[in-house]
Amino acid sequence: MKTITFSQATLEAMREEMQRDPTVFVYGEDIVRQGGIFGQFKGLPEEFPGRVRDVPISETMIVGAALGAALTGTRPVADMHFADFIGVAFDEIANQIAKNRYMFGGQANIPLVIRAPDGIINSAAAQHSQSVEGWVQNIPGLLVVAPSSPATAKGLLKSAIRQNDPVIFFEHKVLYPQKGPVPEEEYLTPIGKAEVRKPGKDVTIVTYSIMVQKCEEAAMELEKEGISVEVIDLLTLKPFDIQTVIDSVKKTHRCVVAHEAVVTGGLGAEIASQVQEKAFFYLDAPVLRVGAKNLPIAFSSVLEKFIAANQDDIKKAVRSVLYREG
């Protein structure tokens, strides 16, 4: 194993897949000039001349061109700069990329990846701090992933690039400088499979992305109160691994779902619904959700912290399903 940052892990994934497959290329804003806004593409333009491109500020063009390139037999990786800008290209994502394979009877694959840096970071404010995975959850034809560590970032990105269906790759901006162990040898992280990050017997927490860290920290603190928490990292958000969740809930009989996105209309609602449909008679308490307040993310660091979900919110929810706190 070696220790590298999340950003370096995604860079390794890109380099390895571009070396392996000459049809893989990447483009976006400031990739060549700057190496990506978070340095996640640094060095690729020199190593792969002509296959790493800067493009104008036009998300509609970026995503539309990815579809055209995928249909002609290449594997484009389109960088959105910030996930918030997906809204500009929503017609291309929802009505074209997600549906072309079906509309034309499976005559062509759509092997493309949209990289989407998301999440709250350093007073980036309302238009650059959102967690927008909920926007794409209701669109058939898309795969959606959200790694939580350098190892899962590299493995999921490699798997995403090899998919023959479109993948939206959410990568939390706070994770980029964080370090973690990554295998030396080649590996893939399977799409559609969750990981039990911490075993437990009293309460199941289902989470993903940056919230995995917060849930693990909360779980360690709850251990001091004699509460054993199982933490599940979904990794793939669409389709998410409901079986791993159900197996855990059948053991713990209680479930909390935590994400950074606002609670209203978030992925947590879908997970909670499926848990109650498939494991109702195993539950000893309602499924609770933890997420951001239903407000735009503020520029003020004080308000930003107030809006975001934190470890205390997670611990309160866990105690609540155990009827230890109202």
Taking 50 as the pLDDT cut, the residues of the chain under it are none
Query: SS3 of 117, please?
Result: strand
Closest to 62 (Cα-Cα) out of 76, 46, 42: 76
The DSSP bridge pattern shows strands 2-5 and 143-145 to be: unpaired
Q: Which of 128, 133, 260, 304 is catalytic?
A: 128
Closest to 175 (Cα-Cα) out of 30, 18, 39: 39
* Residue pair 56/27 in contact by the 8 Å Cβ criterion: no
Q: Is 253 a catalytic residue?
A: no
**What per-residue confidence (pLDDT) applies to 297?**
87
Interval 107-158: pLDDT, tens = 989 999 999 999 888 877 778 878 999 999 999 999 999 999 999 999 999 9
**What per-residue confidence (pLDDT) applies to 27?**
95
Closest to 235 (Cα-Cα) out of 258, 217, 255, 212: 212
pTM listed for this prediction: 0.95
**What per-residue confidence (pLDDT) applies to 122?**
84
**What per-residue confidence (pLDDT) applies to 288?**
98
Q: Cβ neighbours of residue 197 under 8 Å, at least 6 residues apart?
A: 212, 216, 231, 232, 233
Q: Is 185 a catalytic residue?
A: no
* Residue pair 145/317 in contact by the 8 Å Cβ criterion: no
**What per-residue confidence (pLDDT) applies to 127?**
83
**Distance, CA of 62 to CA of 273 (rounded, Å):** 35
Q: Which of 59, 133, 216, 304 is catalytic?
A: 59
Angle (deg, nearest 10), helices 211-223 and 311-321: 60
Q: Which domains occur in the chain, in start order?
A: 2-182 (3.40.50.970), 195-321 (3.40.50.920)
**DSSP code per residue over 245-274:** HHHHHHHHS-EEEEEEEESTTSHHHHHHHH
